[in-house]
A and B are shown apart, each in its own frame.
Chain A
């Protein structure tokens, strides 16, 4: 695994490529958003996200979805000390539909 940069370690946040198989359900077809240039050598976000998702599931850790921008379908997954941002208009539309229900 390539070494992380200082900043990537300190912030423990990565934005970038996610492997579809590492994610579940709707996220398998989500398109990752390059919200900021990924630092060289950043750990594979998808693989890390997958393991984070798995550990969150195993440890009952909270996993939070944050719809960042409704108009573009930008959604973030927050778990552990990570945040991964995707563009998934279908998921966002689905969530908004759910949120609008009484």
Chain B
């Protein structure tokens, strides 16, 4: 999955596992940018009585680099605090939760949002902001949409924020893709052929915890540029998210765990699938602990991606041009590590400079598409991935096709991608339940309605 359980160490620490990052010009408020960072992967909706929640002991952050040095110029920090009304019951709720201050809701979570500037200036944007409960079922959370709506908080300066459970937005045929890169619709061409089948959306009934932030474009751009010209370098921002834990945790018999020491990053994410399928197993934990500024060490894995070597082996005779392509993949370096320079794609650039770093690069001067294409730039839609990432973008298909050679003609006009590249797919159609407004990710599935996903 995009970055769900993508490294051995973070797979054991789901509360700190950063699963997806989205950054896009808000379609319904095009003067703003929406940033979303998801955590806590693969939530079974019926996971009670201790339903999912953010970690009070985790520092969640969304970072923005607006000058191309792969260092955060702006950071939004989120710290959570859980409050238990009645410690003498095992119940999450003792009756219907009809409002965020319902006395029936026994275990509530609140958070503080702080914005930090490059010079160290800090501003608390909101304190004790309420999260919604998890979606339990019709008896416990009878009007979930209203509860979630009430958990959207306005921020000073025209922004808004939400933190809480959402339906997983990342769609993929997970069971097939990690079964030797099987793509069900194309499995008749696989090294171990079987009849083709429709893909299976493995994550449609799972939930995730989202931190969503919508702020004016000019609050993110360098020198508060108003993003009037897509060619202006100040129109491009680089976005990534992270989770950190304190250096020491003490488990003392009969005591709650205690934490001390500086924060240490344990998870991070910019582009979807970077650590998942680009970084080799022996480096995945390390990558999660490093900052984007250190990503030069990973350029070689982008220039020679393992998936590009596997495709011709697992689909014999289907990818002869890809098999013959041995040059470093400068196209993938541009897409994932530097941004795409001007002059390669008409009317577009999201180049942040030559310093390689895994950032989700968004040109905020590109307006939202009136008719979005889920294949983003590969589908001719300049407002989609890899220009940032929207919730509905089919990033699995886009990246599969790019790795398989679809984008190499940007570098070498004489290269012709294999015919099968246009047939490559993550295997599943996009969801239809995304919201048309903030926070865009759909209402989480309830435990009652999805007792077993």
- How many pairs of residues, A versus B, come closer than 8 Å at their CB atoms? 61
Within 8 A of B (CB), among A22-81: 41, 61-64, 66, 78-81
In the complex, A100 has a CB within 8 A of chain B: no
**Which stretch, B11-19, B245-253, B400-408, touches the partner chain A?**
B245-253
B residues near A13, Cβ cutoff 8 Å: 262
The count of chain B contact residues (Cβ–Cβ below 8 Å) is 21
Pair B120/A3 contact, Cβ less than 8 Å: yes
Q: Quick one: CB contact mask for B64-86 with A, threshold 8 Å, 1 for yes?
A: 00000001100100000000000
A residues near B261, Cβ cutoff 8 Å: 64, 78-79, 81-83
* A4 in contact with B120 given A62-B250, A64-B248, A78-B247 (CB within 8 Å): yes
Contact of B120 among A8, A64, A78, A80 (CB under 8 A): A8
* Complex-state Cα separation, A82 to B248, whole angstroms: 11
* Complex-state Cα separation, A11 to B263, whole angstroms: 6
* A82 in contact with B262 given A6-B72, A9-B120 (CB within 8 Å): yes
**Which stretch, B111-119, B142-150, B209-217, touches the partner chain A?**
B111-119
Pair B118/A62 contact, Cβ less than 8 Å: no
* Complex-state Cα separation, A4 to B250, whole angstroms: 29
In the complex, B313 has a CB within 8 A of chain A: no
The count of chain A contact residues (Cβ–Cβ below 8 Å) is 23
* Complex-state Cα separation, A10 to B117, whole angstroms: 10
In the complex, B258 has a CB within 8 A of chain A: yes
In the complex, A90 has a CB within 8 A of chain B: no
* A5 in contact with B263 given A10-B75, A62-B250, A83-B247 (CB within 8 Å): no
Most chain B beta-carbon contacts within 10 A, residue among A8, A79, A83: A83
Pair B260/A63 contact, Cβ less than 8 Å: yes
A residues near B119, Cβ cutoff 8 Å: 3, 5-6
Contact of B118 among A6, A11, A12, A66 (CB under 8 A): A6
Q: Which residue of B lies closest to A14 (CB)?
A: B262
Pair B120/A12 contact, Cβ less than 8 Å: no
Pair B262/A62 contact, Cβ less than 8 Å: no
A residues near B246, Cβ cutoff 8 Å: 81
* A80 in contact with B260 given A6-B75, A64-B248 (CB within 8 Å): yes
Within 8 A of A (CB), among B114-137: 116-122
* Complex-state Cα separation, A82 to B122, whole angstroms: 18
B residues near A81, Cβ cutoff 8 Å: 246, 260-263
Smallest beta-carbon distance B292→chain A, Å: 14
Contact of B122 among A7, A9, A64, A66 (CB under 8 A): A9
A residues near B75, Cβ cutoff 8 Å: 6, 10
Q: Which residue of A lies closest to B261 (CB)?
A: A78
Q: Which residue of A lies closest to B249 (CB)?
A: A62
* A11 in contact with B262 given A64-B248, A83-B247 (CB within 8 Å): yes
* Complex-state Cα separation, A5 to B72, whole angstroms: 12
Smallest beta-carbon distance B327→chain A, Å: 37
Pair B116/A9 contact, Cβ less than 8 Å: yes
Which positions in A face B, CB cutoff 8 Å?
3-13, 41, 61-64, 66, 78-83
Beyond the given A62-B259, A64-B261, could you list 9 further A-B residue pairs with CB under 8 A, ordered by the A residue number? A3-B121, A5-B120, A7-B71, A8-B120, A61-B260, A66-B248, A78-B248, A78-B260, A81-B261
20 contacts between A and B (CB under 8 A): A3-B119, A5-B119, A6-B71, A6-B116, A6-B118, A6-B119, A8-B120, A9-B116, A9-B120, A10-B116, A12-B262, A13-B262, A62-B248, A64-B260, A66-B248, A78-B261, A79-B260, A81-B260, A82-B261, A83-B261
